Amino acid sequence: MASGVIMAMTLSGDSVADILVGLRASGVFPAGKPDTIEQGVKTLPAGDDWFQVAQKRAGTFMFGEGHTFLFIRQPDLVKVSLEGQVIEPVALLGKLAQVPFELASFTTFHHDWASGRMDEVYRGPSFGKLHSPLGWGCAFRGKGHQRMVSRRWLEFGPWRMLHGDPDTTLLQFFDLAADATTALAQARIGHERLIAGLLPETDPEDIDLQGLYSKQQRKLIITVKARTISAKELREAAIVRRFQSFGKDQPIDNIVYVFVDEAEARQHLEAMWLHGFEVRLIGDDGQERRIDEGFTPRVQRPAWVPAAG
């Protein structure tokens, strides 16, 4: 838990209006009426109808002269920043149940990361689309999970993971009681791992994944013989599955990697399992058998994660 800090987050989803209504109901929202509304080069006084304006128009709504504000980009993104807050992930997860977001990014409250007072200036990676850089955590809800190569990627990462309703996953990247240097060392590991499994927002349309399409199985089958499958290829295979890159006439429910060498298959099994792919091995009898079913990698949580999760 961290107290007396700035809690800033970015949330994206289908509707800014619905996100704002949910945030207000949850209490994760500025108190009172904003002083000004910044829209482009104009700064206007906020009227009594400011909330209705916020639901329909883009702008920055400033509450005082500090760091409490709402930033809105229509039609799908809200940033909220609140001063003097207590950050407790379990409690926040419960509050976010009222907010219909898909992706949420929580910035760091350690300003030394970017101030130049440390040995480096660190700015975390981002989900894109004006999302804030990753800091102490992030969250996925519903179809927001589709931005990852697989939900399994979230289940087995170097972070604290919390589940909430409805269908929400919150990740915490560092011990909230740690100093700035320690927190950065902890967070960097999780940031890098998460982004490695992040899919683009749209189909890049320049992927040339070679395989045999099975209409009966609705799967793309890739046979592996004496080669190493790169992380780049696995990510591209997940993109093909996510965006149905072979077109509507060749729907792909999953990617199947078929190995002829067992040692080679075992070498790739964990990475492919984390991507949610099927892994098959051709036996001495010439029959294909799945070896991914029943496989579960070991969860290696950081030492700072509470034993109860």
Checking if the pLDDT of 106 tops 70, the result is: yes
Taking the model in full, what pTM does it have? 0.94
The pLDDT assigned to 27 comes to 96
Residue 309: predicted pLDDT = 66
Distance (Å, rounded) from C-alpha 211 to C-alpha 255?
9
Q: Which pLDDT score, from 0 to 100, does residue 307 have? A: 80
- Peptide bond before 75: cis, by omega within 30 degrees of 0? yes
- Residue 169's pLDDT band (cuts 50, 70, 90): very high
Q: Which residues contact 202 (CB under 8 A, 6 or more apart)?
A: 243
Strand order in the sheet with 278-282: 212-214, 219-224, 254-259, 278-282, 288-290
Average pLDDT across the chain, whole number: 95
Higher-pLDDT residue of 118, 10: 10
Confidence of residue 51 (pLDDT cuts 50, 70, 90): very high
**Cα gap 188→183, rounded to integer Å:** 9
Residues 88-110: what's their mean pLDDT? Answer: 97
Question: For residues 278-294, b (16+ Cβ closer than 10 Å) or e, as one string?
Answer: bbbbbeeeeeeeebbee
Strand-strand pairing, 212-214 and 168-172: unpaired
pLDDT at 280 over 90: yes
Query: Exposure string (b/e) for 156-185, b if CB count within 10 Å is 16 or more?
Result: bbbbbbbebeeebbbbbbbbbebebeebbe
Backbone phi, psi, residue 21, to 5°: -60, -40
Domain boundaries, the chain: 2-196, 212-290
pLDDT tens-digit series, residues 180-227: 999 999 999 999 999 999 999 999 888 989 999 999 999 999 999 999
Query: What's the average model confidence in pLDDT over 260-283?
Result: 97
Sign of the Cα pseudo-torsion (279, 280, 281, 282, in order): negative
Q: Which residue would you say has higher pLDDT here, 2 or 295?
A: 295
What DSSP assignment string belongs to 80-132?
EEEEEEEE-HHHHHHHHTTS--SEEEE--S-THHHHS-SSS-------STTPP
Work out the angle between the directed axes of helices 262-274 and 231-243 (0-180°, nearest 10): 50
Nearest-angstrom CA–CA distance, 241 and 253: 7
